[in-house]
Amino acid sequence: MAETEQALQVHVTGRVQRVGFRAWTQAQAERLGLHGWVRNERDGSVRALIVGPEAAVTAMLLLLREGPRGAVVSDVVTEAVEPGAASPGFAITG
């Protein structure tokens, strides 16, 4: 039985820019078999679309709460979105 696909838009705040957060997020997402995108926001936060099997999405959220070395994550806010909202692969945008 196939696992249910989940899609979340994620907003990460704290010291998350200029620490390699986008590249780290892309690498972790690809390792977990997720697709979507990650981008920097003008306010210094990072936003991502994470799409994939529920267990992999949950694992990614745990990773995002820690972030890469040098990051200080203050908060991770999620919003459920339609799973069809992402292209295959995981891209760094903006």
The per-residue pLDDT for range 29-82, each reduced to its tens digit, is: 999 999 999 999 999 999 999 999 999 999 999 999 999 999 999 999 999 998
The mean per-residue pLDDT over the stretch 9-34 comes to 97
- Residue 94: per-residue pLDDT: 77
Predicted model pTM: 0.93
- Domains defined along the chain, listed by start: 5-93 (3.30.70.100)
- Residue 6: per-residue pLDDT: 93
Which of the residues 39, 40, 42, 69 is marked catalytic? 40
d(C-alpha 9, C-alpha 63), whole Å:
15
Q: Sorting pLDDT into bands at 50, 70 and 90, what band is 85? A: low
Which of the residues 18, 22, 31, 69 is marked catalytic? 22
Active site residue 22: yes
Per the structure block, which two tokens stand in for 43? Answer: 């306010």
d(C-alpha 45, C-alpha 16), whole Å:
6
Active site residue 40: yes
